[in-house]
């Protein structure tokens, strides 16, 4: 039942995206979107992603609020770095370890870190759970510490929202591999 519901949701979502891309709600666009969605899902299926853990709504809300605040604050910081007089800010590639068990949650954490202006994740060492991040404005020890603090906060919020130790179990798909 869950698999069928997920497929129907995917078809509806892709059809909606198609209609939004065309900008007009019409029977032709809906039918065309449904045809495109069917072609995409049948000819180009995505691999199954194992999902472990449970979603914690309050922790997820804290994560969303943290990301929203950081988007605004860091956007202003990056804008100021772009227009302030003087030499360009120092940049560096920094390595950080994430103690996240799930590959899906690791991907979400990397997405959040990349989404926040001023940093771009360049590489992920999936086995050792290391990320290499290009960071803007690391001219002081305080700025470097701030980056590492931000990584640890994202990690803590992701674990709280998606994979608490008490109820986290590896998926059966991962054990079979």
Q: What is the CA radius of gyration of the chain?
A: 20
What pLDDT does 103 receive? 85
Please state whether the predicted TM-score (pTM) of the whole model is above 0.85.
no
> In total, how many domains does the chain have?
2
What pLDDT does 176 receive? 47
* Whether 115 and 142 share a structural domain: yes
What pLDDT does 48 receive? 74
Nearest to 48 by CA among 14, 8, 6: 6
* Whether 130 and 84 share a structural domain: yes
What pLDDT does 132 receive? 97
Outline where DSSP puts E strands in 15-129.
Answer: 91-97, 119-125
Q: Give the integer Cα–Cα distance in Å for 42 and 7.
A: 10
Determine phi and psi for 174, rounding to 5 degrees.
-70, -35
What pLDDT does 19 receive? 94
What pLDDT does 47 receive? 76
* Whether 66 and 39 share a structural domain: no
* Whether 143 and 71 share a structural domain: yes
Domain span at residue 67? 57-162
- 121 touches 114 (CB < 8 A): yes
- 109 touches 133 (CB < 8 A): no
* Whether 73 and 135 share a structural domain: yes
* Whether 147 and 74 share a structural domain: yes
Does 172 fall in a domain?
A: no
The residues near 150 (Cβ < 8 Å, ≥ 6 apart) are: 70, 113, 116, 119
* Whether 24 and 85 share a structural domain: no
pLDDT means per 10 residues, the chain with 177 residues, are 82 94 93 94 79 82 95 92 90 94 89 91 93 93 94 94 69 52
What pLDDT does 101 receive? 86
* Whether 37 and 67 share a structural domain: no
């Amino acid at each position: 039942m869950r698999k069928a519901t997920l497929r129907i949701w995917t078809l509806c979502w892709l059809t909606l995206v198609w209609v939004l891309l065309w900008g007009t709600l019409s029977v032709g666009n809906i039918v065309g979107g449904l045809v495109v969605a069917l072609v995409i899902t049948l000819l180009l299926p995505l691999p199954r992603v194992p999902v472990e853990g449970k979603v914690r709504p309050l922790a997820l809300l804290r994560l969303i609020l943290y990301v929203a605040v950081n988007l605004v604050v860091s956007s202003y910081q990056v804008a100021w770095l772009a227009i302030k007089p003087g030499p360009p800010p120092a940049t560096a590639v920094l390595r950080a370890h994430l103690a996240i068990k799930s590959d899906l949650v690791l991907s979400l954490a990397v997405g959040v870190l990349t989404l926040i202006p001023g940093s771009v994740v360049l590489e992920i060492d999936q086995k050792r759970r290391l990320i290499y991040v290009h960071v803007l404005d690391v001219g002081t020890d305080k700025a470097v510490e701030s980056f590492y603090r931000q990584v640890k906060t994202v990690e803590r919020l992701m674990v709280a929202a998606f994979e608490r130790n008490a109820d986290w179990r590896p998926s059966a798909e991962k054990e079979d591999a």
